Amino acid sequence: MADQRQNGEDSLSSDKRNKRRMLTAALLLTILGALFVSLGNWQLNRADERRQIAQSIEQGRQSAPIRLGSNVDTTQLKPWQSADVSGTWDPQWSVLLDNRNLDGKPGYWLATPLRLDQTQAILVLRGWVARPIGQFNPFPAIEQSLDPVTLSGEVAMRVPRLYEIADTQTLVFDSTAKVASNRTSSTIDLNQLPQLQNVSVDQLSNATGIQFLPIVLLQTNPTDGEHLVRQWPTPSIDADTNMGYAMQWFSFAAIAFGAMGVLLWRAWRHAKISQ
């Protein structure tokens, strides 16, 4: 009798342990399924964001070209809208933006103010230049006219930023740096320019005392600076990739919820048989 009672208690204890295991596994599968659904929804949101970016780029590039000036209404401008502007280079306040790769090659973007009048300017991203490698690839000398120039480009609402772990770097200009000039042009020594990963027009305005338009021009026409490459990156707009990832996450969620359903059915069936 004692052996039968012991065997019965062991069987009951084993049933409880199995039931507990199945319920724990079902709970974990529920959590995984909810996580997979959340990740799938996140990918759908990313796809929507990329569609909106693509629409913004298309709307900007299909908008009528605009003439920029000190009196332009910047609130009416659109990102990627074609624009022309005339002014005079102010190369002494140029900045090199670091970690701007082109076709896998490390380099910089050169940003220089273009004076619209005595008090106001627009920041122009003039182009890309390769990072020097020892003595074999020195910085080229960048030359610009002293006379007024007319530039063509595309409007950006701000300087494209890179992710930065540290706080914003302080912008300091070297007071001893010189811009070599002759009668018709000036030349920038890129080695003397401040190098930052990111810069804003407000930051540049505070450092120089110049009032900047709250936009940036991505220069596209080769007026000067023959060593500069003008291939500006566009944000990723491949929404189909995000849709594919979303379907994968939803498939994983379906598998998890299906397995959870099987476990719960087995637990219910086992409990019913035990009765």
Same domain, 111 and 203: yes
Helix (H) or strand (E) holding 60: helix 2-62
User: How far is residue 205's CA from residue 159's CA, in Å, rounded to a whole number?
Assistant: 14
Domain residues for the domain of 172 are: 81-219
Could you tell me if residue 199 is inside a domain? yes
Residue with tokens 């390769």: 130
User: How far is residue 114's CA from residue 104's CA, in Å, rounded to a whole number?
Assistant: 29
Could you tell me if residue 54 is inside a domain? yes
Residues 6+ apart with CB under 8 A from 233: 160
Could you tell me if residue 5 is inside a domain? no
Measure the N-to-C terminal CA separation of the chain; round to a whole number of Å: 22
Could you tell me if residue 1 is inside a domain? no
Same domain, 136 and 247: no
Q: Is 0.95 surpassed by the pTM of this model?
A: no
Per-residue confidence at 133, pLDDT binned at 50, 70, 90? confident
> How many structural domains compose the chain?
2
Residue with tokens 């003039």: 126
Could you tell me if residue 145 is inside a domain? yes
pLDDT, tens digit (0-9, with 9 covering 90-100), for 98-122: 999 998 899 999 999 999 988 899 9
Same domain, 149 and 262: no
- Identify which has the larger pLDDT, 227 or 107: 107
Same domain, 90 and 60: no
Same domain, 104 and 191: yes
Q: What is the pLDDT of residue 56?
A: 85
pLDDT, tens digit (0-9, with 9 covering 90-100), for 244-271: 999 999 999 999 988 888 877 877 776 6
Same domain, 188 and 131: yes
Could you tell me if residue 237 is inside a domain? no
Same domain, 143 and 188: yes
Same domain, 247 and 272: yes
Could you tell me if residue 76 is inside a domain? no
Per-residue confidence at 165, pLDDT binned at 50, 70, 90? low
Could you tell me if residue 75 is inside a domain? no
Q: What is the pLDDT of residue 223?
A: 74
Same domain, 109 and 204: yes
Per-residue confidence at 221, pLDDT binned at 50, 70, 90? confident
